[in-house]
């Protein structure tokens, strides 16, 4: 196996590595390589790769760009959103005490070490969010119930030991019955508690700070199409304290110069991106897929908006028994085909999945339409009606 191939090779890196040539219609998924990195970011990464830089100065430059795009007072780039959450929480605990930073995560004596989160916000994005809290040395104080949080649940959870409130904006959270960001901020701020927002996959770079958040964390590799990274922005004192965690727990979450430069370039590219043109291409793909599924017994399809109001629609595909597929069975059949099509399957147990148009290379939308029609007109595989089981057997086999 040769990984590197000079220009002119007629193989692709996926072929040389024996990786399946998947088409991703599931969204910006870590498990599938996060995003298609924009050319501006790739060029910046390549250009800085062979240069020495003073990392604090690189992060100073990043702070300027992050501040310009988000409206924050300062900002920095880190390994990913999950690490940004841990760093923001650790910063709220230690302030700028360099000794306290080295004492984390296990020695929190004298530090505020509780983080309030609405119960319906305790999500799993590949790992449980409360682990990002625990990594800082803090503990999670859940407020309210799965379906309802009232103001008093948060207000009365605040104590002297409260370091921060954490507010999650995502399709993963319970989408009703939770406090709004404004209500959450009002309650926390009345007691001097800073609010950290996890906005990992939100397109709105300014709104959460504008609505009262003190520090907001984004992924660089989701809608921004940067390299794997996280972006922290907000109040300067909190951002500074979070940044200093690079001398502590965040040492184990190190980001390199290439990803910092790549994320900066992705932010710049975002400012100039042809958002309208991209939206039109996405809509064309959705309509193509919807048409391809017309008139197939037991299959329904509807274009639906993003649950957290990002400017992105998806196709919801309803799979009823008359199709002689279950939603899980059809998703598996598409993933097992050639080329493999990976759909957004986090709700298959409810009899549907989604097709996300935001990560397509030219020509792939047509292949997806063709593959769906082919699979739905072919003989059913043995597991066509399989139920959606949470099966980790495949996961546990790695590296075999
Ligand atoms: C993806 C996601 C994360 C994790 O982001 P990474 O940058 O991959 O660490 C955190 N929170 C939410 C809501 C997410 O969707």
What CATH number does the domain containing 132 carry?
A: 3.40.640.10
String of DSSP letters for 271-317? HH--HHHHHHHHHHHHHHHHHHTTT-TTEEEEEEE-TT--S-EEEEE
Considering the domain architecture, whether residues 299 and 172 belong to the same structural domain is answered as no
Residue 173 counted as domain residue: yes
Are the C-beta atoms of residues 333 and 298 closer than 8 Å to each other? no
Q: Does 389 reside within a domain?
A: no
How many Cβ atoms sit within 10 Å of the Cβ of residue 19?
Answer: 11
Q: Looking at the domain assignment, is residue 19 inside a domain?
A: yes
DSSP β-ladder status, 114-118 and 162-168: parallel
| Residue 198 falls inside a structural domain | yes
How confident is the model over 336-365, as pLDDT tens digits?
Answer: 999 999 999 999 999 999 999 998 999 999
Q: pLDDT confidence of 392, banded at 50, 70, 90?
A: confident
Convert the pLDDT of each residue in 25-46 to its tens digit: 999 999 999 999 999 999 999 9
Q: Which atom of ligand 1 is nearest to the CA of 80?
A: 7
Structural domain including 282 reads 13-33+274-377
Q: CATH number, domain at 292?
A: 3.90.1150.180
Residue labelled with tokens 């028994």: 321
- Domain C-terminal end among 255, 272, 289: 272
Using most ligand atoms within 8 A of CB, pick from 85, 132, 219, 224 the residue to mutate for ligand 1: 219
Residue 338 to residue 330: CA distance in whole angstroms: 14
Q: 84 and 193 share a domain?
A: yes
Same domain (yes/no): 201, 132: yes
54-87 pLDDT, tens digit per residue, is 999 999 999 999 999 999 999 999 999 999 999 9
pLDDT for 2: 81
CA dihedral 145, 146, 147, 150 (to 10 degrees): 30
What are 218-277's pLDDT values in tens digits? 999 999 999 999 999 999 999 999 999 999 999 999 999 999 999 999 999 999 999 999
- Helix (H), strand (E) at residue 134: helix 129-135
Rg (CA), the chain: 22
Q: Report the C-alpha gap between 296 and 286 in whole angstroms.
A: 17
Other CB atoms within 10 Å distance of the CB of residue 105: 16
Residue 12, token pair as written in the block: 């692709």
Ligand 1: residues within 6 Å at CB?
30, 80-82, 123, 125, 168, 170, 172, 198, 200-201, 219, 230
Q: Given the CA of residue 30, which atom of ligand 1 is nearest to it?
A: 8
Axis-axis angle for helices 257-272, 39-48 (nearest 10)? 150
If one residue of 132, 170, 358 were mutated to test the ligand 1 pocket, choosing by the most ligand atoms within 8 A of its CB, it would be 170
Closest C-alpha among 268, 167, 270, 157 to residue 215? 167
CA of 125 to the centre of ligand 1 (A): 6
Instruction: Render 16-60 in DSSP notation, one character per residue.
Output: HHT----EEES-S-GGGTS----HHHHHHHHHHTTS---HHHHHH
Taking the alpha carbons of 38, 39, 40, 41 in that order, is the dihedral positive or negative?
A: positive
Query: Comparing C-alpha atoms, which of 287, 383, 291 is closest to residue 334?
Result: 383
| Percentage of residues in the chain having pLDDT higher than 70 | 99
**Mutation test residue for ligand 1: of 31, 80, 221, 230, the one with most atoms within 8 Å of CB:** 80
- Put the strands of the sheet holding 215-219 in their side by side order: 74-78, 230-234, 215-219, 195-198, 162-168, 114-118, 139-143
State how many domains the chain has.
2
The pLDDT value given to residue 1: 67
């Amino acid at each position: 196996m040769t990984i590197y191939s000079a220009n002119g090779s007629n193989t692709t890196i996926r072929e040389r590595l024996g990786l399946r040539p998947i088409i991703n219609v599931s969204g910006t998924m870590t498990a599938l390589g996060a995003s298609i990195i924009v050319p501006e970011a790739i060029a910046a990464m390549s250009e800085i790769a062979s240069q020495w830089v003073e990392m604090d100065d690189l992060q100073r430059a990043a702070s300027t760009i992050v501040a310009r795009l988000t409206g924050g007072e300062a900002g920095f780039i880190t390994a990913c959103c999950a690490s940004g959450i841990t760093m923001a929480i650790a910063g709220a605990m230690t302030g700028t005490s360099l000794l306290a930073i080295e004492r984390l995560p296990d020695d929190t004596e004298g530090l505020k070490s509780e983080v309030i989160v609405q119960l319906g916000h305790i999500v799993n994005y590949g790992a449980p969010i409360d682990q990002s809290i625990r990594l800082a040395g803090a503990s999670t104080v859940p407020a309210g119930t799965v379906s309802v949080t009232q103001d008093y649940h948060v207000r009365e959870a605040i104590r002297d030991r409260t370091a921060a409130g954490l507010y999650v904006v995502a399709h993963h959270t319970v989408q009703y019955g939770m406090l709004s960001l404004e209500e959450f901020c009002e309650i926390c701020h009345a007691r001097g508690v800073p609010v950290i927002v996890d906005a990992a996959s939100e397109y709105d770079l300014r709104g959460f700070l504008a609505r009262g958040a003190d520090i907001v964390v984004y992924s660089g590799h989701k809608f921004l199409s940067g390299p794997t990274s996280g972006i922290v922005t907000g109040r300067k004192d909190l951002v500074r304290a979070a940044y200093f965690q690079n001398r502590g727990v965040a040492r184990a979450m190190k980001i390199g110069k290439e990803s910092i430069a790549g994320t900066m370039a992705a932010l710049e590219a975002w400012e100039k991106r042809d958002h309208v043109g991209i939206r039109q291409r996405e809509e064309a793909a959705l309509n193509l897929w919807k048409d391809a599924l017309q008139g197939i017994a037991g299959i329904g399809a509807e274009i639906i908006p993003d649950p957290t109001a990002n400017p992105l629609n998806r196709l919801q595909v309803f799979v009823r028994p008359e199709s002689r597929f279950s939603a899980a069975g059809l998703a598996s059949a598409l993933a097992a085909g050639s080329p493999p099509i990976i759909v957004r399957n986090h709700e298959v147990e409810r009899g549907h999945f989604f097709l996300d148009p935001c990560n397509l290379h030219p020509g792939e939308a047509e292949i997806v339409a063709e593959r769906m029609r082919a699979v739905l007109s072919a003989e059913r595989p043995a597991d066509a009606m399989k139920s959606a089981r949470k099966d980790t057997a495949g996961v546990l086999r790695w590296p075999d």
